[in-house]
Amino acid sequence: MTTQKARTTKLRTWFGAKATITIGPGFIHKAGLGVFLIPHPPVINWMLRLGLREDRQYTLSCTHEFGHLQSAPLALPYTVLMLALTFVTGHASLLEIILVFISTHAAWEVISEILTITSDAQLYREYYQGITIIPRIVFWISMGILTIIGWGIALSVLKL
């Protein structure tokens, strides 16, 4: 989704931090806590929201970005733990470390989209009525596989 002007939403996370989500201008999203905003190309949101009306794309993209911030206290320790497990033996190759890092981000995408769905499941269903399911299938399969690849690498490096 590309927007002419930036639209900013401010919300409070369950752990009390002030979350800021800015969509646009153009093809850029910014999300973060307090003054720490991370600009990023919204690749996942773009794919998941294909075919939706612009206002619905905005609503779900915002909810998804907020999901990242809400789940950060879970996702960040998970990333550190997965990388620590991969590093600890000293057997992991650079490629394996990169794949584990990518897989932890994939897991974070899965968590954020689950939070997007569960924030209002009825609305989510309503929005996607008549919209092709293919991008969402690609999302769930690819993110699921990437997450599992990370576990596989961590376990194989640990020789479990």
From 27-35, 36-44, 140-148, 150-158, span contacting Zn ion (CB under 5 A): 36-44
Read off φ and ψ for residue 36, nearest 5 degrees: -90, 95
Q: For the segment 90-109, give every residue that binds Zn ion (CB under 5 A).
A: 109
Nearer to Zn ion (CB atom), residue 99 or residue 143: 143
The nearest distance, CB 143 to Zn ion, in angstroms, is 10
Q: What span, in angstroms and rounded, lies between the C-alpha atoms of 92 and 88?
A: 9
At residue 53, the 3 state secondary structure works out as: coil
| Site for Zn ion contains 19 (CB under 5 A) | no
13 contacts 6 by C-beta, under 8 angstroms: no
Nearest residue to Zn ion, by Cβ distance, number only? 44
Q: Which is nearer to Zn ion, 61 or 96 (CB)?
A: 61
Measured CA to CA, the distance from residue 31 to residue 39 in angstroms comes to 7
Shortest distance, CB of residue 42 to Zn ion, whole angstroms?
A: 8
**Cβ-Cβ contacts under 8 Å for 8 (sequence gap 6 or more):** 20, 21, 22, 23
Selected range binding Zn ion among 3-11, 37-45, 69-77, 93-101, rule: CB under 5 A: 37-45
For residue 44, state whether it binds Zn ion (rule: CB under 5 A): yes
CB count within 10 Å of CB 54 equals: 11
Output 67 or 85, the one with its CB closest to Zn ion: 67
Q: Which residues bind Zn ion (CB under 5 A)?
A: 44, 109, 112
